[in-house]
């Protein structure tokens, strides 16, 4: 009998413990739910801007290669020993300036002989003409004298041309490069002595898609730089290839750019932007303000709402419209998610075609801490975003 009583009491203790455990879990879940339901949402400090219509400067972006307006590797036209070098690296030389003198001793001797032969044949022709005038010389003697004089003149011009080949001169004005020769060095015909580049004005070769060729014309303004964010040089288009490459479907374009600061060098990479007519009254935002997601692009807009009361007269903090310290009837600023359609982009700025209107207040910094209905506080003293340099590539 005692054993049965003890067993019954044991079962009662076990049931009481289970009931207590169940009650504790239900009570805990209820209290946690009430805590989160009544937990006030913290206010997030953000930077904002007011949406306003702006001018959009559309353009066509491309990459190209810079070349000199005139540029050659100056080479020897005849073989010979280097006797004189008349330039140093980076000298500015004028067209026709003597750069290198090759040894021309043999040609100078030939010149003396050719001049002597010319003088002799000229005297022979003068005597033949005098005798023919007195009727004591035949016409054939006079013809032979004239032919001999012409041959001597031809030989003299040939020697002068050979002498000219021994002098290497600048074909145009420009900047000469590093000498690739030394005094006493033997040069073969075609040996390069240095490069000569006209750096005052540069050309840039680039390609554009065939579908955009209708927007390009001779004389059109371009901006150019060594990277896309620093287009410091201005030029104009001087040539458009009349056909597209059938393999790449690109059209070759050439532009001329002033290089007064000599910042551009032949062979450098170039970022190019062809300027198109300005478009008025478009909405554009810093790209930092637009969030990309699987569901589309959106921004956070700041809205002003009233703090509501619950049944006991306290501000309803459980609702997303309530702030964390507002009184009922006060105006509070909260974040709202607004989906937008975007268009062209350029230099950190993105065009918004749908979803916003002038006067909307958009969060530009701090949106990574936001969710729908988060209370916000605006502080624009520090704003990493920028709306300067608005523009866009043609889409």
Query: Of 140-149, 205-214, 235-244, which range is least confident?
Result: 140-149
* pLDDT tens readout for residues 71-96: 899 999 999 999 999 999 989 999 99
Q: Which one is predicted more confidently, 28 or 196?
A: 196
- pLDDT bin (cut points 50, 70, 90) of residue 35 is low
- The count of other CB atoms within 10 Å of the CB of residue 152 is 21
Greatest Cα pair distance, the chain, in angstroms, is 180
Contacts 24+ apart (CB under 8 A), 33-42: 37/318, 38/317, 38/318, 39/317, 40/317, 40/322, 40/323, 40/324, 40/325, 41/317, 41/320, 41/322, 41/324, 41/373, 41/374, 41/375, 42/324, 42/375
Query: Are 76 and 190 spatial neighbours (Cβ–Cβ below 8 Å)?
Result: yes
Please state, rounded to an integer, the average pLDDT across all residues of the chain. Answer: 83
Q: Report the predicted TM-score, pTM, of the whole model to 2 decimal places.
A: 0.61
- CA distance readout (Å), 97 to 85, 173, 194: 12, 9, 14
- The count of other CB atoms within 10 Å of the CB of residue 161 is 11
CA–CA gap between residue 150 and residue 147 (Å, rounded): 5
Q: Which one is predicted more confidently, 249 or 34?
A: 249
Model confidence at 395: pLDDT above 80:
no
Model confidence at 366: pLDDT above 90:
no
CA–CA gap between residue 264 and residue 197 (Å, rounded): 12
* pLDDT tens readout for residues 266-310: 999 999 999 888 888 888 888 888 888 888 889 888 888 876 544
Domain residue limits, the chain: 39-57+279-393, 59-69+198-275, 104-165
- pLDDT bin (cut points 50, 70, 90) of residue 389 is very low
- For domain 59-69+198-275, the CATH superfamily is Efflux pump adaptor protein, beta barrel domain (2.40.30.170)
Query: Are 299 and 357 spatial neighbours (Cβ–Cβ below 8 Å)?
Result: no
Residues 6+ apart with CB under 8 A from 224: 204, 231, 233, 234, 235, 255, 257, 264, 270, 271, 272, 273
Token readout for 369 is 């801490």
- Select 39-57+279-393's CATH number: 3.40.50.620, 2.40.420.20, 3.40.50.720, 2.30.33.40: 2.40.420.20
- Report pLDDT for 307: 60
Q: What phi and psi values does residue 4 have, to the nearest 5 degrees?
A: -65, -40
- pLDDT bin (cut points 50, 70, 90) of residue 131 is confident
Model confidence at 387: pLDDT above 80:
no
- pLDDT bin (cut points 50, 70, 90) of residue 49 is confident
- Report pLDDT for 323: 40
Q: Average pLDDT, stretch 45-74? A: 88
Mapping DSSP to helix (H, G, I), strand (E, B) and coil, where does residue 93 land? Answer: strand
Model confidence at 328: pLDDT above 80:
no
Token readout for 354 is 């749908």
- Report pLDDT for 383: 62
- Report pLDDT for 142: 81
Print burial letters for 236-264: b (CB count within 10 Å at least 16), e (below 16): ebeebeeebeeeeebbbbebbbebeeeeb
- pLDDT bin (cut points 50, 70, 90) of residue 36 is low
- Report pLDDT for 155: 92
- Select 104-165's CATH number: 3.40.50.1440, 3.40.50.720, 3.40.640.10, 1.10.287.470: 1.10.287.470
CA–CA gap between residue 62 and residue 11 (Å, rounded): 85
Percent of the chain at pLDDT > 70 equals: 87
Give the length of the chain.
395
- Report pLDDT for 195: 93
Angle between helices 139-165 and 105-134 (to 10 degrees): 160
- pLDDT bin (cut points 50, 70, 90) of residue 26 is confident
Model confidence at 252: pLDDT above 90:
yes
Q: Average pLDDT, stretch 35-62? A: 79
- Report pLDDT for 317: 41
């Amino acid at each position: 009998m005692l054993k049965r009583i003890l067993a019954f009491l044991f079962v009662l203790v076990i049931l009481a413990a289970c009931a207590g455990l169940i009650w504790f879990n239900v009570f805990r879940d209820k209290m946690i739910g009430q805590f989160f339901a009544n937990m006030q949402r913290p206010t997030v400090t953000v930077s904002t801007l007011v949406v306003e219509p702006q001018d959009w400067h559309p353009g066509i972006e491309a990459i190209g290669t810079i070349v000199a307006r005139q540029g050659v590797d100056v080479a020897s036209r005849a073989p010979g020993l280097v006797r004189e070098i008349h330039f140093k690296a980076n000298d500015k030389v004028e067209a026709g300036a003597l750069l290198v003198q090759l040894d021309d001793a043999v040609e100078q001797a030939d010149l003396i002989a050719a001049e002597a032969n010319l003088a002799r044949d000229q005297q022979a022709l003068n005597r033949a003409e005098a005798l023919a005038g007195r009727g004591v010389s035949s016409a054939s003697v006079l013809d032979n004298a004239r032919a001999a004089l012409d041959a001597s003149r031809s030989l003299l011009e040939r020697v002068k041309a050979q002498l000219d080949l021994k002098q290497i001169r600048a074909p145009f004005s420009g900047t000469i490069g590093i000498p690739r020769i030394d005094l006493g060095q033997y040069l073969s015909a075609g040996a390069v002595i240095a490069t000569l580049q006209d750096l005052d004005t540069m050309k840039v070769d680039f390609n554009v898609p065939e579908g955009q060729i209708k927007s390009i014309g001779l004389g059109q303004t371009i901006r150019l730089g060594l990277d896309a964010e620093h287009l410091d040089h201005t030029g104009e288009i001087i040539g458009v290839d009349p056909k597209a490459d059938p393999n790449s479907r690109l059209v070759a374009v050439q532009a001329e750019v002033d290089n007064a600061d000599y910042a551009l060098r032949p062979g450098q990479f170039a970022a190019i932007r062809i300027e198109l007519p300005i478009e008025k009254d478009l909405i554009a935002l810093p790209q930092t303000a637009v969030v990309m997601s699987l569901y589309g692009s959106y921004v956070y807009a700041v809205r002003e709402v009233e703090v509501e009361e619950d049944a006991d007269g306290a501000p309803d903090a459980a609702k997303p419209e309530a702030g964390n310290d507002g009184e009922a009837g006060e105006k509070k600023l909260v974040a709202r998610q607004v989906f937008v359609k975007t268009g062209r982009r350029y230099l950190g700025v993105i065009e918004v075609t749908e979803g916003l209107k002038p006067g909307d207040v958009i969060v530009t910094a701090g949106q990574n801490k936001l969710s729908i209905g988060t209370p916000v506080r605006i502080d624009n003293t520090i704003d990493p975003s920028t709306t300067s340099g608005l523009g866009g590539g043609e889409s």
